[in-house]
Amino acid sequence: MFVTIERRLEMTTKDQIRLWLTIGRRNNASHVAVLYDPKYKIDIPVYVYLNRNVKDHLKNYMNVHGKHVIMEVYDLSRDIEYQLSIPRVFYYN
């Protein structure tokens, strides 16, 4: 099954993602997921905090806020710049 992603209003830049990751670290998040919201055609950060299962947290988020597309998942315990250098990063652990 293929998912068609509608055209985004504006691409999220690495600097925007870097800011979200910095905010996540300051607030003791373990992961930051970047989700695409097809209704508003924007990317949004979803913060996952320590001792939470990333996949379960994202599933619960989508149950409450509607279907989104997971674009990337960043692990805040890993090197941020290295992760930003990868085209699509998915660190769930």
Q: What are the strands of the beta sheet with 29-37, ordered from one edge?
A: 42-49, 29-37, 69-75
pTM, two decimal places: 0.86
pLDDT digits (tens, 9 = 90+) for 48-62: 998 899 999 999 999
**DSSP assignment of 49-79, as one string?**
ETT--HHHHHHHHHHHH---EEEEEEETTS-
Q: How far is CA 76 from the centre of its chain?
A: 11
Does residue 93 surpass a pLDDT of 90? no
Structure tokens at 20: 């979200």
Per-residue model confidence (pLDDT) at position 11: 78
- Please indicate whether residue 67 or residue 30 has the higher confidence score (pLDDT): 30
* 3-state secondary structure at position 69: strand
Q: Which residue has the higher pLDDT, 46 or 38?
A: 46
Q: Does the structure show a pLDDT above 50 at 1?
A: no
Collapsed DSSP state (helix, strand, coil) of residue 14: helix
